[in-house]
Chain A
């Protein structure tokens, strides 16, 4: 993963973060909200190479930690997405089976986003945070899964195209 691509990917992530915080957060969807940012980050992590997925996870988590509405300690999302990046990098071939097919990739992103939220709850619990009732949190995670499943096909081609533009000639090969 080249440093230029790292910078460009970070800029894309920050742009998506701004969209998430300023536009998507206004729309009040039933069940719970949709997180475009989580979906895009999971997508980018899945498309990276061994080290790239871990680094992308860490940077993506750091950007998400900037969320002013977050009550969790700064660094929690970075920790979670570093772990997720590691899991992806260790199972890169299996993940590749998902990323090659659009439908299975959408499913992977939806499950990945829900999994990230679940890990967030678990880590929050370990850090002594109060996140509310189990039933409600389950509903939030399930709601996020459903919305991600519905909306991801709309932006997935754009994200893939954007990522391809950031690839160097060597990485393309």
Chain B
């Protein structure tokens, strides 16, 4: 009898293990029934997430505020210092501002207002039982959102839409270890790949071994074909540390993103890139210091007005003035 029970247990174990492996195989092979089950779960969960978000979001925000209390104090101090510095620069900037406005028109930079976006509320975050870094939005295909669309916050890139249902969508955050984006160093025009690390910092690998990298360099997205998954000209992050390892074939650096992914409340999904923008918005000429205009803390350098290679149109306009 005991042996029979033991055999039954073994048979049960083998059956369940084989079933699990079969499910994994089917999913990896892309069987729609398996992949559709998650979409169905998302469809069921999103209204509940929406409702609970309304109820519990203040609690979450309160906990977040308590957690970041010390940090917020320090940030206020930093902002006060920055504000005082900016006030001093305001007079100097008045002259540069006019030129910046002209440059902006000439370059037709894909500025924030140029994108056709759908704003959505963050109603959930990636489960703690998975290692993926995602957020759930309360807008889906009914709002025009599709897979592989760029998601931005007020400060820059946030991530890319991974899956969509009628009323919700899941966004893969740029901090996810599987996240990769082609970026360009604004100052030197070197091209590289930014890789998520699962934390607040990112790894940048330059494709050009002779490319130039400095601390404080701003990174902007290169963009993809048909602007999906990435639109070009989007502020991505700033270099905080450059790794000078001579044994490596490529240069690498540590990057901090412009967007604070821990405090996302409202984000925008770019459903259409600006039609007036050129197909390759990050034009090597004129001077690409234009990134200054889209960084969260704009600090336009006087070198903009003394651009070494101004575009003919810019010069012409300035001459007219």
Q: How far is the CB of A10 from chain B (nearest CB, A)?
A: 14
Q: How far is the CB of B49 from chain A (nearest CB, A)?
A: 4
Beta-carbon contacts under 8 Å, B56-87 to A: 56-57, 59-60, 63-64, 67
Question: Can you name the residue of chain B whose Cβ is closest to the Cβ of A20?
Answer: B127
Known: A22-B48, A68-B41, A82-B16. Contact between A140 and B125, CB under 8 A?
A: no
Question: Can you name the residue of chain B whose Cβ is closest to the Cβ of A148?
Answer: B128
Known: A26-B52, A73-B28, A79-B21. Contact between A66 and B41, CB under 8 A?
A: yes
A71 at the B interface (CB under 8 A): yes
B27 neighbours in A (Cβ, 8 Å): 73-75
Q: Cβ of B38 and Cβ of A67 under 8 Å apart?
A: yes
A73 to B67, CA, bound (A): 34
A18 to B5, CA, bound (A): 35
Q: How far is the CB of B194 from chain A (nearest CB, A)?
A: 14
A61 neighbours in B (Cβ, 8 Å): 20
21 examples of A-B residue contacts, CB within 8 angstroms? A18-B48, A22-B51, A23-B52, A32-B128, A35-B127, A58-B19, A65-B23, A66-B41, A67-B129, A69-B130, A69-B134, A74-B27, A74-B35, A75-B19, A78-B16, A78-B20, A79-B20, A89-B9, A127-B28, A140-B131, A144-B128
Q: Cβ of A86 and Cβ of B125 under 8 Å apart?
A: no
Question: Can you name the residue of chain A whose Cβ is closest to the Cβ of B43?
Answer: A68
Q: Cβ of A54 and Cβ of B13 under 8 Å apart?
A: yes
**Interface contacts beyond A67-B38, A67-B130, A71-B132: sample of 13 additional A-B pairs, CB < 8 Å, sorted by A:** A22-B51, A25-B124, A25-B126, A33-B125, A37-B127, A64-B129, A66-B41, A67-B129, A74-B23, A75-B27, A124-B131, A132-B177, A136-B199
A120 neighbours in B (Cβ, 8 Å): 131
A38 neighbours in B (Cβ, 8 Å): 128-129
B249 at the A interface (CB under 8 A): no
Q: Cβ of B124 and Cβ of A33 under 8 Å apart?
A: no
Question: Can you name the residue of chain B whose Cβ is closest to the Cβ of A89?
Answer: B9
Q: Cβ of A70 and Cβ of B130 under 8 Å apart?
A: yes
Known: A30-B67, A58-B20, A75-B22. Contact between A133 and B197, CB under 8 A?
A: yes
Q: Cβ of B56 and Cβ of A23 under 8 Å apart?
A: yes
A2 to B7, CA, bound (A): 19
A120 to B129, CA, bound (A): 9
Residue positions of A touching B, CB distance < 8 A: 18, 20-30, 32-35, 37-38, 50-51, 54-55, 57-58, 61-62, 64-79, 82-83, 86, 89, 117, 120-121, 124, 127, 130-133, 136-137, 140, 144
B268 at the A interface (CB under 8 A): no
Q: How far is the CB of B133 from chain A (nearest CB, A)?
A: 9
B42 neighbours in A (Cβ, 8 Å): 68
A74 neighbours in B (Cβ, 8 Å): 23-24, 26-27, 34-35, 37-38
Which of under 10, 10 to 19, 20 to 34, or 35 or more describes the interface residues of B? Answer: 35 or more
Select one of B124, B176, B198 contacting A22, CB under 8 A: B124
Beta-carbon contacts under 8 Å, B103-144 to A: 123-132, 134, 136
Beta-carbon contacts under 8 Å, B224-244 to A: none
Q: Cβ of A35 and Cβ of B16 under 8 Å apart?
A: no
B26 neighbours in A (Cβ, 8 Å): 74-75
Select one of B34, B125, B198, B262 contacting A26, CB under 8 A: B125
Residue in A25, A77, A82 whose Cβ sees the most chain B Cβ within 10 Å: A25
Q: Cβ of B12 and Cβ of A55 under 8 Å apart?
A: yes
A69 neighbours in B (Cβ, 8 Å): 124-127, 130, 132, 134, 136, 170
Known: A74-B27, A76-B24. Contact between A21 and B35, CB under 8 A?
A: no
Q: Cβ of B129 and Cβ of A37 under 8 Å apart?
A: yes
A37 to B128, CA, bound (A): 9
Q: How far is the CB of A12 from chain B (nearest CB, A)?
A: 16
Q: How far is the CB of A159 from chain B (nearest CB, A)?
A: 17
A74 to B32, CA, bound (A): 12
Question: Can you name the residue of chain A whose Cβ is closest to the Cβ of B6?
Answer: A50
A70 to B38, CA, bound (A): 9
Q: Cβ of B198 and Cβ of A136 under 8 Å apart?
A: yes
4 smallest CB-CB distances across A and B, nearest first, come from A33-B128, A75-B23, A132-B177, A132-B198
Question: Can you name the residue of chain B whose Cβ is closest to the Cβ of A30?
Answer: B67
Q: How far is the CB of A72 from chain B (nearest CB, A)?
A: 7
B150 neighbours in A (Cβ, 8 Å): none
Select one of B5, B37, B52, B178 contacting A71, CB under 8 A: B178
Q: How far is the CB of B305 from chain A (nearest CB, A)?
A: 43
